[in-house]
Amino acid sequence: MKLLRFGNAGAEKPGILHSDGTIRDLSSRIGDIDASVLANTAALDSIDVSQLPVVPNETRLGPCVSGTRKFICIGLNYSDHAAETGASVPPEPIIFMKATSAITGPNDEVRIPRGAEKVDWEVELGIVIGKPAKYVDEANALDHVAGYCVVNDVSERDYQMNRQGGWTKGKSCDTFGPIGPWLVTRDEVEDPQSLNLWLSVNGDRRQDGSTATMIYGVTYLVSYLSQFMTLHPGDIIATGTPPGVGLGRKPPEFLKPGDAMTLGIEGLGEQHQRVVSD
């Protein structure tokens, strides 16, 4: 199933995508798309979605998950992306955090921070944790995954690389974490390592890749991260981006006010963002 949240920012309601393409209101059945739901999404299977109220098409979509405690990102997880940025393939996953305050809806505006000049795009597969994971082995890692979503890991490269102290400050600006449009439950994704993902800027395709070329796959990442920290329901893992980012273009190219991004992952939906000044 495809779970989502809709409504004004900060007041979103839970919803579900019906097979006819309409969004249906789940708020009469559950409080939110949060830990209580993520731990057992199969409990929603008994709901007759066709009898739920239809949500108007023009309604804003919010972040597809509520109550995210950790937004964990994996750096340089595609060998061809590492090459385009001049970096070597890491011998272990590079881990950094993105502030949860960066999270926005899939079609909300992306705001360029004051003084920023190197804002970049990154389409990524997001893993949404469903059950607590600590010291999990790879064989059982997927038991702790509720589903997957599209993530745009928007980045300010100067902040990330030249402002010292790690990558987090270049990744955590407000609006730098669009997620959604929906959380696609694990049972609907046959193989998370065989998904096409892409991103366009102003209608020009910039990224075109496949999760098949990830260095460290979904099961490995869930297991690996759980050795260092407990993963909680609602936590999001952004698994890295394929080549085609602005930093890797010759010459480098970055987002400016008025630009429009469209990005998506096979079976997980699309995002559409307009870039504005903060």
- pLDDT tens per residue, range 169-218: 999 999 999 999 999 999 999 999 999 999 999 999 999 999 999 999 99
- pLDDT tens per residue, range 15-48: 999 999 999 999 999 999 999 999 999 999 999 9
d(CA 21, CA 7): 18
Task: Say which residue the tokens 């360029």 belong to.
Answer: 112
Q: What is the largest CA-CA distance in the chain?
A: 54
Cis check: omega of the bond before 242, within 30 degrees of 0: no
Q: What is the pLDDT of residue 163?
A: 86
Cα dist. 31→12, 37, 66, 278 in Å? 10, 9, 10, 33
Q: Which residues contact 268 (CB under 8 A, 6 or more apart)?
A: 125, 148, 149, 150, 182, 184, 189, 195
User: Bridge partners of 237?
Assistant: 72, 127
Report which DSSP code applies to 38.
Answer: H
More confident residue, 24 or 278: 24
Q: What is the pLDDT of residue 205?
A: 98
29 backbone dihedrals φ, ψ, rounded to 5°: -110, -35
Sign of the CA dihedral running 71, 102, 197, 191: positive
- pLDDT tens per residue, range 77-112: 998 777 777 777 889 999 999 999 999 999 999 999
The CATH code of domain 65-277 reads 3.90.850.10
Q: What is the mean pLDDT of the chain?
A: 96
Buried b (16+ CB within 10 A) or exposed e, 32-55: bbbbebbbebeebeebebeebeeb
Q: Where are the chain's structural domains? A: 65-277
How many C-beta atoms lie closer than 10 Å to residue 7's C-beta?
A: 18
Sign of the CA dihedral running 94, 187, 63, 208: positive
- The residue count of the chain comes to 278
Q: What is the pLDDT of residue 17?
A: 98
Q: Which residues contact 254 (CB under 8 A, 6 or more apart)?
A: 117, 118, 119, 120, 157, 246, 247
Q: What is the pLDDT of residue 84?
A: 75
140 pLDDT higher than 80: yes
Q: What is the pLDDT of residue 89?
A: 81
DSSP H or E segment with residue 223: helix 218-226
Tell me the mean pLDDT in the region 214-234. Answer: 98
Is pTM beyond 0.85 here?
yes
Q: What is the pLDDT of residue 18?
A: 98
